[in-house]
Amino acid sequence: MRRHTFQDRLHTPRRRLTAGVVSSLGMSIAVVVSSAREDSALGAPPLWPWLLTGLQVVSLWAAGRRHWWAWLLGGSVQLPWIAYAVMTDQVGFIPGCAISASVQTCSFLNNSTRTNRSEAMA
């Protein structure tokens, strides 16, 4: 049986971050495509703010409970929020979403690195 090395553990955060980016892009494409077909006054289906807010609340709850995926989810939700802001002409959301994505992604990476170091020492 092969024992995992420290190098193997470093690849896990990258895979998780890649999965977060891919899911974020997928949700952003869904926002854009569904908004292109929407004839409402806002310019996007009313489902999106509820769904995105729900995901953000879940990520904050999970961060408080120290789940590894919490910061990743929070950072991943920001790109769909930016797509929503563009599609609904609410560009004031964009700076806050960009800052939030940066902070939450850095928190995910810092937490992953700290976890990997403590596992390597064990």
* pLDDT value for 36: 84
pLDDT digits (tens, 9 = 90+) for 103-113: 999 999 998 87
* pLDDT value for 40: 75
User: Is residue 1 assigned to a domain?
Assistant: no
pLDDT digits (tens, 9 = 90+) for 69-85: 999 999 999 999 999 99
User: Is residue 11 assigned to a domain?
Assistant: yes
For residue 23, with 0-12 CB atoms within 10 Å meaning exposed, 13-18 middle and 19 or more buried, which class applies?
Answer: middle
User: Is residue 20 assigned to a domain?
Assistant: yes
User: Is residue 18 assigned to a domain?
Assistant: yes
Q: Output the average pLDDT for the chain.
A: 85
Is the predicted pLDDT of residue 48 greater than 60, yes or no?
A: yes
Q: Which domain holds residue 111?
A: 6-121
> Measured between alpha carbons, how far is 91 from 94 in angstroms, rounded to an integer?
5
Instruction: Print burial letters for 48-86: b (CB count within 10 Å at least 16), e (below 16).
Output: beebbeebbebbeebbeeeeebbbbbbbbbbbbbbbbbb
pLDDT digits (tens, 9 = 90+) for 90-101: 999 999 999 999
Q: Average pLDDT in the 21-40 region?
A: 88
Task: Please report, to the nearest 10 degrees, the dihedral formed by the alpha carbons of residues 35, 101, 17, 24 taken in order.
Answer: 0
Q: How many domains does the chain have?
A: 1
* pLDDT value for 119: 53
* pLDDT value for 115: 60
> Measured between alpha carbons, how far is 90 from 2 in angstroms, rounded to an integer?
52
pLDDT grade, residue 116 (50/70/90)?
low
pLDDT grade, residue 2 (50/70/90)?
low
For residue 91, with 0-12 CB atoms within 10 Å meaning exposed, 13-18 middle and 19 or more buried, which class applies?
Answer: exposed
